[in-house]
Amino acid sequence: MNIHLKTLGCRLNEAELETWAQTFQKSGHQITRQAENADLIVLNSCAVTQDAARKSRQLIRRIHRDNPQAKLVVSGCYATLNEDEAASLLGVDLVVSNKDKDRLVEKTLTELNMDSMPVLSTEPGEISLFTRGRQRAFVKVQDGCRYRCTFCIVTVARGEEKSRVVLDIINEINALHQQGITEVILTGVHLGGYGSDLGNNLSDLITAILTKTEIPRLRLGSLEPWELPDDFFELFSNPRLMPHLHLPLQSGSDTVLRRMARRCKTEEFAAIVKQLRVKIPNFNVTTDIIVGFPGETEHEWQDSFNFIEKVGFGHIHIFTYSSREGTKAASLPDQLSNDLKKQRSRQLHELAEVMKLDFAKQCVGHQFPVLWEGYSEPLGSDQQWVYGYTPNYLRIACVISNQQSVENQTLNCLVTAIEQGNIIGELRL
C-alpha cells in the first residue's frame, strides 16, 4: 500500500510523521511523496490559531478532491479540538485524536481493514526521511504542557506532560544514525519540561545522547526560556550540540507578559541570552513575538520594540494576534484593531530584517562545518548552487561544479559575503 504523509504546523508534528512513516514501513507498506498516487493519506493537522484550523479544513477538502479514492486519516490538534467536525468532512475515513497518536498506525490498519498480512514485511532500509525528501530527523521527546499561557490552545489539545524514557530516545537516535542521518532535532510541546514526570531533566537527556550516541549534530527545538537546569549552558561546550536556540519571548513588555501568563520576565530573558553569547561565539538566538496582544498600549509596544532591538535576534517569527476561541486571551478586554496590529507588525518586520542581516554580517570571514542539503539549482552549464546550514542555523549558498555531489555531507565552508540578503560561501574541501 502506498501511503502519503502530510503535516501542518510545528516540528512536533514533523517528528510524529517520521515515527508513523517508519512504523508503516515496518508493516510492509511504502511511503510516497505523491499524494495522487497514494492509497492512504494521513494528515497531522494544526489548530494553533483560527487560521490554522481553517487551513486544516481546506487541506482536508483539497486532499479528498485531488485523490477521492484514497483513504484519509486525520490527526493532530485540529482533529482533537474539533473531532466531530473533522469526522463529518467529506472524504475523512478516520479521526485519531492526540491521545491516541502513539497507536495511529495500528488503529489505521485495523479500523480501515488494511491490516492484512503484507507480501513482505521489511525494516526501512532507505529511511522514511529520505523518502520524504528530508535531510535531518525530528525526534519527539515529550508531549503536553503543564502551563496555560492565555493565548495558547495547544496545551488544551495536547494534554498533560508526558516524557519518553531516555533509553527509547537513545535507541531511536542510534537507529537514525545507522540509516545515514547526521543531525537530529529534539522536539516537544514543552521541551524544557522534559523529564518532569520521570525524575530527570533536559540536561540529563542531552548528556545521555552525547554520551550514548555518536550522532554528529544535535539540535534543540523551540525551548521556553524558563526552567533551564543550572548546568544547561555548559552543555554547549560540546561541539556536537549546535549553537542555536529558539527561545519564544512573545513580548518585550513585562506587563504584556503578565497578561499572557508567561513565566519569564524580560530581565531574565536578557540574562539567558547574554550568558549564551558570552560562552559560545556566534551563538544564534531566534524567537517568537506576538504583535497586538489584547490591551497592548502604545507605551507597552514601544517597550517591547526597544527590548527586542536591544537584545537582537538572528530571526523572528512574527505573529499578529488573532482571537482563538477556547483561550483566556479571547475574553480579555481592549482587543486591538486590525489596522493597528498590521502597522506594528510591519514595524517589527523591518527591524527583524535589519537584525537578521546584522547577525549574518558578523559571520562573514568565519569558517563553519555545513550540512549540505539534497537539492541544488543549476547555474550555467557546468555549475550549480547548493544550500546547507551552519551549526548556528544560518542557511548558506555555495557554487560547486555539476560533477560534485555534497548531499547530506558536512563540509567546511567559508562565509564570504552577504548578497541581497543571502549568505554566500566557498566550499573548503
Q: How far apart are CA 25 and CA 40, in angstroms?
A: 13
Mean pLDDT over 301-308 rounds to 98
120: confidence class by pLDDT, cuts 50, 70, 90: very low
Q: How far apart are CA 19 and CA 140, in angstroms?
A: 9
How many H helices and E strands in the chain?
13, 18
pLDDT per residue over 38-69, tens digit each?
999 999 999 888 888 899 999 999 999 999 99
Q: How far apart are CA 216 and CA 212, in angstroms?
A: 12
pLDDT per residue over 221-264, tens digit each?
999 988 788 889 999 999 999 999 999 999 999 999 999 999 99
What pLDDT score does 125 carry? 42
Mean pLDDT over 269-286 rounds to 93
What pLDDT score does 18 carry? 84
129: confidence class by pLDDT, cuts 50, 70, 90: low
Q: Is 142 strand, coil or helix?
A: strand
Percent of the chain past pLDDT 90, that is, above it, reads 68
Q: How far apart are CA 128 and CA 19, in angstroms?
A: 9
- pLDDT tops 80 at residue 124: no
pLDDT per residue over 362-410, tens digit each?
999 999 999 998 767 888 778 999 999 999 999 999 999 988 889 889 9
- pLDDT tops 90 at residue 34: no
Q: How far apart are CA 45 and CA 100, in angstroms?
A: 14
For the ranges 262-276, 283-297, 395-409, the lowest mean pLDDT is seen at 395-409
What pLDDT score does 28 carry? 86
346 CB contacts (<8 Å, ≥6 apart)? none
- pLDDT tops 70 at residue 316: yes
What pLDDT score does 134 carry? 63
Mean pLDDT over 107-111 rounds to 90
Instruction: Let me know if 82 is exposed, middle or buried by CB neighbors in 10 A (0-12, 13-18, 19+).
Output: buried
3-state secondary structure 291-304: ECCCCCCHHHHHHH
Q: How far apart are CA 192 and CA 226, in angstroms?
A: 7
Half-sphere exposure of 22 (CA within 13 A, CB side): 19
Q: How far apart are CA 10 and CA 413, in angstroms?
A: 30
Instruction: Let me know if 260 is exposed, middle or buried by CB neighbors in 10 A (0-12, 13-18, 19+).
Output: buried
Per the CB < 8 A criterion, the answer to whether 204 and 167 are in contact is no
- Residue 133: closest CA among 216, 21, 12, 220: 21
Please work out, in degrees rounded to the nearest 5, the angle formed at the alpha carbon of residue 270 by the alpha carbons of 267 and 273: 155
12: confidence class by pLDDT, cuts 50, 70, 90: confident
Here the contacts of 132-135 (C-beta below 8 Å, separation 24 or greater) are 132/5, 132/17, 132/21, 132/31, 132/33, 133/33, 133/374, 134/18, 135/183, 135/371, 135/373, 135/374, 135/407, 135/408
What pLDDT score does 115 carry? 54
What pLDDT score does 287 carry? 96
Helix (H) or strand (E) holding 75: strand 71-76
272: confidence class by pLDDT, cuts 50, 70, 90: very high
Residue position matching grid coordinates 546550514: 389
What pLDDT score does 225 carry? 86
